[in-house]
A and B are shown apart, each in its own frame.
Chain A
């Protein structure tokens, strides 16, 4: 049921036009952060206001929306954003990756490969990959303009000097089409290889920081690294304790105060689909099904 007190998908049409223009410029210059006039949303900054605005500008009445928070469909953030668009847009929602046409995500890319016709909307806290190296916006803007990314390589080098390897494990910087260095939002670096060559459209929205950027389908995205320290997508060295998957990204869950723990897929839809297909892990024997 649409709540008729609101315009379709909450935002007014002028705001949507402004966001849509920013998205199109982002698509035209992949990896470049387009400034936009971010609006106050009925949720606090840090809860996905950027992603919500991008989603609102993209949604059509025919869309099916999925929202995930670190892979999970059932957390507060995901549930309330899904409800928000059910109420203000009247759109269908789902938890199944394959059924969704628009997927808003916080910090994960679904395990199931995306396809043409899908849009993945990322919630982004700090869009500027150079921000923690150079706090001044005037300077980082110049660095992007001049393609001056030496500082980022120094940072990765210092990781190696200090820890023996590149210890950056999330929000791992990427180079887009050989031009812009981009923050892929705090997704685990496990997900980085899915950024490039993806048949879906990927849009990034940072509400507080007022930036939108984009990756068109099949864009070349390279995780920064060194010849002698190549990029490695890493995950916990375990199988999922519920579905037994050995290749998915895992969350570690502490189960008691005596060192007990379990590892489960962070993508809940992926894990549930596998279990309903009969896959079992260490802590979900057959008789529990």
Chain B
């Protein structure tokens, strides 16, 4: 029965709270937000599960990277989100560890006319600390520090602004946002 458990028990209220955490994360890059309420099957983290429950549904194509392409996760997503699974280059959302999502250059970055038609990567991490990158840009008053799996890919992603993919890094019940608008520098 594991397929049927682990979703939101009060979907409207819990997804509203989860969205506000994701919104704050995306609007204030580098600031870690708490995101709980979901109990998805391992290795999917509660935070990533909550992101899926809040944003992903029948109308969004989801790519599962090899790290997260397990029968349990497929069943859980099929039951709770109903998102059609797809290849990486056609995905609206992608889920996996940073290593499993490589090469990230294959994800949609939008078009000059429609930069919003781009992928959102849900990147599963072991931890969101210690900081190894300095962030500047919209949403950040002066600068913010964050733990990123690498920096060069995000420098390249920002260079094509307003095109680019957007990232949500998740670990346990924590989420950290990195939109394409953020300038990233290794420290």
Contact = CB atoms under 8 A, between A and B. Distances in A.
Contact of A22 (B20, B28, B92, B116): B116
B73 interface: no
B97 interface: no
Interface string A19-36: 011111111111010110
Contacts of A32: 115-116, 162
A180 B28 CA distance: 20
Contact of A13 (B11, B60, B164): B11
Contact of A24 (B23, B113, B138): B23
A13 B12 contact: yes
Nearest to B20: A60
A217 B138 CA distance: 7
Contact of A28 (B12, B17, B19, B181): B181
Given A20-B55, A30-B138, A7 B23 contact: no
Interface string B90-110: 001000000000000000000
B33 interface: no
B162 A180 contact: yes
A60 B116 contact: no
B13 interface: yes
B16 A24 contact: no
Nearest to B93: A21
Given A20-B55, A28-B179, A35 B112 contact: no
B162 A179 contact: yes
Interface in A199-251: 199, 201, 214-220
A262 interface: no
Interface stretch (A72-80, A128-136, A141-149, A273-281): A141-149
Main secondary structure of the interface of B (DSSP, over half): loop
A42 interface: no
A59 B12 CA distance: 10
Contacts of B179: 27-29, 216
A61 B54 contact: no
Main secondary structure of the interface of A (DSSP, over half): mixed
Most chain A CB atoms below 10 A, which of B13, B19, B116: B116
Interface string A54-95: 000111111000000000000000000000000000000000
Nearest to B21: A60
A29 B112 CA distance: 12
A161 to B, nearest CB: 33
22 contacts: A13-B11, A16-B12, A17-B57, A20-B55, A24-B23, A25-B166, A26-B116, A27-B23, A27-B179, A32-B116, A32-B162, A57-B19, A58-B23, A59-B16, A60-B13, A60-B16, A145-B112, A199-B141, A216-B28, A216-B181, A217-B27, A218-B138
Interface of B: 11-13, 15-17, 19-20, 22-24, 26-28, 54-60, 92, 111-116, 118, 120, 137-141, 161-162, 164, 166, 179-181
Given A201-B27, A219-B138, 20 more contacts: A7-B12, A8-B16, A16-B15, A24-B23, A24-B55, A24-B120, A24-B166, A25-B116, A29-B115, A32-B115, A34-B116, A58-B20, A60-B17, A142-B113, A177-B181, A216-B26, A216-B28, A217-B28, A218-B138, A218-B141
Q: Considering the complex of A and B, which 6 residue pairs feature the smallest CB-CB distances, nearest first?
A: A8-B12, A28-B179, A145-B112, A216-B139, A25-B116, A216-B27
